[in-house]
Structure 1
Amino acid sequence: MKDQRRFLLVLRRMDVGGIEQATQTLAEALADVGHEVHVLVLKGSSRRRLSSNVHVHHLDVDRASRRGTGLAQHLLDRLVLSPLIKGSGFVWRGKRCTRVFSAFVAELEATHGDFDMILIRGQGAFENLWAFDDPRAWRVVEAITGRFADSRRGRWLTRVLYRDKQVISVSHGVEQALNTYLETRDVPLAAHEVIYNAVPTGKLERLACAPISPTLPRPYLVHVGRLVPVKNQARLLRAFDLAIQQGLDHDLAIIGDGSQRSALEALAGELSLEGRVHFLGHQANPYPWVKHADALVLSSDFEGLGVVLIEALALNTPCIACDVPGGISEVLIDEQRRLLCVPDDQALADTMLDAVQHPLEVKPEWLKRFSEDSVVQQLLEITDRSSSHRRQRKFPDASTH
C-alpha cells in the first residue's frame, strides 16, 4: 500500500464491553484497507478473536513495572504515598508503567518501524500510561469517569491525567462534558477532536443471519447492555410493566450480564413479569435477536455514544432511548427523535407503545457518519496534520528566523 500507516491501539482489557468492541472494529477496519495495526492489551488475555491481519500483543505493564528496583518503588507507593494522598495511586503507578510501556513501544518500532498514531482507550489505560508523552499519542474518551473533586488535590490529580494531552471524544456530548469538567479545574488540553466509533455494518448483517435460540413466544422488544447501575434496567422493567398495563402485547428480551442481574430478576418477579421478560445473559452474538426485534430499548442514564443503537439501526431495527447526557441524541436524529423520551418510567412506557403502534422506517443515511470508511478517513487526517506539525517543528521555515 503506497500510503500505509502504522497504528498502535492500547487498552487495559480485551473483554466484551463497548470499548473493546470499538477497538476491535477500528483495528480491523484499518487493517482491511492496508494499514499495519497493532493492538496492545495491558491486563489479562484477550476474550476476542481479532482478524489475522491485526497484530495482538499482551503486556501487563503494572506487573512488569514491579520487577527489580520497581518492587521497592511499588511498596513505597502503596504503603506510604497512596495512603498519604488519597486517590493518588495511579500517579505513582503510572510513572512505573509508562517506563515499561515506552520500552515496549521502542522494541516494537525497532522491529516494525515507527508508529504514525498511538491510540490509548479507556480510563484504566489512561491512568497506567498518563506519563507517556509523545506527539503521536491520543487518548480516546468514551465517558467522563473517575472524576476528581473540585479541590486542590482533585485539581492536581486531574492535571496529571489530562493536562496538555491530545484527546479524541467519541461524541460531541462527551466532548462538551469533558471540556466543562476540565475548565472548572483550569486544565488545558493540547488538542481535542470528535470522532464517532465505527460500526461494521456488513459484519453485523452476516452475524444477524444466525438462528435465534431460544426463540420467544411473542413479538418482542430487546435491550442489549451490561447489567450495571448506569444502564438503569430497573427503569426499563418498570416502564415495560406500565406499557403492558396500557396494552403492549410484546415480550422483552434482556441480553447482557453484570452486577445488577440478581436485583433485576427480583424486580421482574415483584412486578409479575415472569414469562414476559427473558434474561438471556451474555450472548457472543446478540445480533439475531436485535434484527428480529420490533425495537431496541435503551434506558441508560448516560451513554458516551450508544454504539448498540447504531448497531440496531444497521439491522433496520428502530430504537427507543432516554434523552440523557452523552451521545444518544447525536445518533437518533430526524424522525427518530420522537422515540427519544425524558428519563422517566411513564415517558419510556409511552414511547414503547408509540414505537410498536407507529413503526419507524430506518433510513440508510442515518448510518453514514458511523461507517468504517468515515472513521478511518478522519483518523488519517489527524495523522497527516500531526506529522505535518512535527516536521514544521523539526525543520522550521528559514524565513521565520
Structure 2
Amino acid sequence: MKKIAIFCHNFFSNGTVKIALSQAEVLQEAGQDVHLFVFHKEGDFMPPENVTIHYLYDAGQKPSLQEQRQHLKAKVAEAEQSGKFSLFLSNSTDCDVVVSGCDFEPCYYFCHCALKQELLMELKRGPVHFWRRWKKAKALIGKKIITVSNGIADELRATSWLKPQSVQTIYNPFRLEEIRKKTQEVIAEIPNVPYMIHVGRVTRQKRHDILFKALRDMPTAPKLVLLCNRPKKARKLAKKYGVEHRIITPGFQHNPYAWIAKAELMLLSSDFEGLPTVVIESLACGTPVVSTDCPHGPNEILTGHLAQYLVPVRQPALLAQKALECLASPPALDNLEILKAVDSQYIAAQYINLAQ
C-alpha cells in the first residue's frame, strides 16, 4: 500500500476539481492510503468518502503565496508523522504555484489544458490577464508533467521554454459502472420530451456563442439543456442570438449523468480542451456526441466511425449540420476503445506505478 497526497484547490464545479476527486476515489478503491489536501474549504462537490482530507483554509481567506507554502509544508509534515508519502499529485494551476515551491518528491503536475491556447487567449484579453496566467504556467518549468491527452503531451514537448523533466500521458480515470448506475436515478426536473445537452462552464473557451448560433441554425432540433455554472449569463447570451426560448438551464447538478443519458445528443463547441470529460461521460451514458475538432482530446475520443462527428472550430453551421445528421441517424456506441482506455482500475494502476 502506497501513501499518496493529492492537491486540490477547492470543491467548486469544474473539470480539474472533478478529476482530483476521481483520482482520490479510484486510488482509495485500489487499496492505497490517500490524503487529499484542499486549499480552500468551499465549493459545490461533496468530499469523497473514505479519503483523509486536510483543509488548509476556510472560504474567503487569502494568505500570501509564502504563507500558503509554509502552511502546506507544515500540513504535509504533520500527515507524514505516521509515514512518508510515496507520491504527490498536483491538480490545478492554482495548486501548482504553491506546490512548486515546496520540494515534495516525487511530485507530478497534471496539465489538463491546452497551455499554448490558454496563454494566447489571455494575451488577447490584455497584459494583466496574460501575466496572471503566465505566473501559473511558469510553475511547470522543469517539472515532471502528466498530461491528460496525447495532443497536450506533443504540445508541451515542443514548448521550448518549459524544459520539463518528463512528460507522459495518463488519461483521466472514469468509474464507468458508477456513471452507468447514476444514469438510472429518477430526477423530476429532467424534461420528458426530447432534448440535446451541453455541459460546461460559461467561459470564452467553451464558446457558447458558437453553440447558440448552431442552435439557431437548426430550428427543428429539440431544445438544449445547459448544465452550467452561470445560468443567468447563459440565458443573457442566448437571448442575444434569439434562442433563449429554446434552452433549459437547471443550474448545477450533483448527478449530471441522468441528464446526459436521457439526452438525444451531446454538443461540444469549445475552442480548446485538454481531454473533454463530458465527451467520454456522454459515450459512457450511451449518448452520441458532436464536437468541435479542437486541440486537444476530441479526436482521441471520437475515433473510427465516430470521427465523422468532429467539425472545425468556430463553424456553427457545420456543427448544426452534423448535429441534425446525428439526431436523424444516431451511431452505435458499443465496445468503444476509449472507454477501455479510461477505466478507473486501469488508470489507478498507472498512478501507483509512479510512486516510489
TM, length-normalised to structure 2: 0.88
From the superposition, tell whether residues 295 and 65 of structure 1 become closer, same or farther in structure 2 (CA, over 3 Å).
closer
1:345 aligns with 2:319: no
Q: Deviations over 1:186-238 (max 9, x none)?
A: x3111111111111111112221112332436311111111222111111111
1:390 paired residue number: none
If you compute each CA radius of gyration, which structure gives the higher value, 1 or 2?
Answer: 1
Q: CA deviation at 1:159?
A: 8.8
Residue number in structure 1 paired with 2:149: 171
**Residue 342 (structure 2) pairs with residue 370 (structure 1):** yes
Equivalence for 1:250: 222
The match for 2:169 is 194
Single out whichever of 334-343 and 278-287 deviates more from structure 2: 278-287
Alpha carbons of 1:105 and 1:254: their partners in 2 closer, same or farther (altered >3 Å)?
Answer: same
Show CA shifts across 1:150-177 (max 9, x none).
Answer: xxxx8x9689522321111111122223
Q: Deviations over 1:346-379 (max 9, x none)?
A: 1101111111112111123330111101111111
Residues 51-88 of structure 1 deviation map (CA, whole Å, 9 limit, x = unaligned): 4321111013999996xxxxxxx6xxxxxxxxxxxxxx
Q: TM-score, normalised by structure 1?
A: 0.79
Equivalent in the alignment of 1:17: 14
Whichever residue aligns with residue 213 of structure 1, its letter is: A
**Residues 197/279 of structure 1: CA separation in 2 closer, same or farther (3 Å cut):** same
Q: What amino acid sits opposite 1:28 in the alignment?
A: E
Distance in structure 2 (CA, Å) of the matches to 1:307 and 1:19:
10
Structure 1 residue 146: Cα displacement: 5.6
**1:107 corresponds to:** 78
Check whether the contact 2:109–2:140 (CA below 8 A) recurs between aligned residues.
no
- In terms of mean alpha carbon deviation, does 15-24 or 272-281 score higher? 272-281
Alpha-carbon offset, residue 44 of structure 1: 2.6
Aligned counterparts, 1:64-83, within 5 A:
none
How many residue pairs align between the two structures? Answer: 343
SS at match of 1:281: coil
* 1:333 paired to 2:303: yes
Give the structure 2 partner of residue 122 of structure 1: 92
- Structural mapping, 1:235-246, within 5 Å: 235-244=210-219
1:236/1:345 contact within 8 Å kept: yes
Cα distance in 2, alignment partners of residues 46 and 37 from structure 1: 21
Structure 2 vs 1, CA of residues 133 and 266 (structure 1 numbering), >3 Å: closer, same or farther?
same
Q: 2:126 matched to which residue of 1?
A: none
**Counting helix residues as a fraction of each chain, which structure ranks higher?**
1
* CA gap 1:168/1:365 in 2 versus in 1, 3 angstroms: same
Q: CA deviation at 1:333?
A: 1.2
Counterpart for residue 127 of structure 2: none
Question: Which residue type is aligned with residue 144 of structure 2?
Answer: Q
Paired position in structure 2 for 1:31: 28
CA distance 1:158–1:269, shift in 2 (3 Å): closer
**Aligned equivalents of 1:132 and 1:146: distance in 2?**
25
In structure 2, runs of 5+ residues without a counterpart are 124-130
Matches within 5 A, 1:177-216: 177-181=155-159, 183=160, 185=161, 187-216=162-191
1:258-314 deviation digits (Å, cap 9, x = unpaired)? 3xx445323433444354221222112121111011111111111110011111111
Which of 42, 45, 48 is the equivalent residue of 2:45?
Answer: 48
Measured in 1, the distance between the counterparts of 2:307 and 2:108 equals 32
Q: CA–CA distance in 2 between the matches of 1:121 and 1:22?
A: 8
Distance 1:29 1:159 in 2: 28
Report matched runs for 1:174-323 at 5 Å.
174-181=152-159, 183=160, 185=161, 187-216=162-191, 218-244=193-219, 248-258=220-230, 261-323=231-293
Looking at structure 1, the residues matched to 79 and 320 of structure 2 have their Cα atoms a distance apart, in angstroms, of: 53
Match of 2:110 in 1: 140
Q: What does residue 360 of structure 1 align with?
A: 331
> Structure 1 unaligned runs (5+)?
67-73, 75-92, 388-401
CA RMSD across the alignment: 2.7
State how far apart, in whole Å, the 1-side matches of 2:224 and 2:59 are. Answer: 42
Secondary structure, counterpart of 2:152 in structure 1: helix
Residues 155-170 of structure 1 mapped to structure 2, 5 A cutoff: 161-170=139-148
Matching residue within 45, 60, 68 for 1:97: 68
Where 2:217 maps in the other structure, the secondary structure is: helix
Say which structure, 1 or 2, has more relative contact order (CA 8 Å, 6+ apart).
Answer: 2
